[in-house]
Amino acid sequence: MEKTYRWFATQIVLALIAIFFILFGINLLYIAYQITEPFSFIMTFFASNLIILISVTLLIIFVLKIVTNIGKSKAKEG
């Protein structure tokens, strides 16, 4: 039982880290639109979009893992 709580805590912490990086990517995107130099704008714009894309994907994976595990544990009980 202890291992299950540790697994859920790990998944929740990883999901929170992914949310942090999503917010960081959005902030970086906002900063990119304030840059006047074209090359720096393009590099910052694509970097922020990559950070957001990877973080959203990881967040979806962590949430799906949690939901799947809850569904399996309820199926075992019922």
Which residue in 67, 27, 64, 20 sits closest to 48, CA to CA? 27
| Higher pLDDT, residue 73 or 43 | 43
Tell me, yes or no, if the pTM score tops 0.85.
Answer: yes
Q: Say how far apart CA 44 and CA 23 lie, in whole Å.
A: 15
Using the predicted structure, report yes or no on whether residue 1 has a pLDDT greater than 90: no
Using the predicted structure, report yes or no on whether residue 51 has a pLDDT greater than 90: yes
pLDDT average, residue stretch 64-76: 89
Question: Above pLDDT 90, what percent of the chain?
Answer: 81
- Mean pLDDT (the chain, rounded): 93
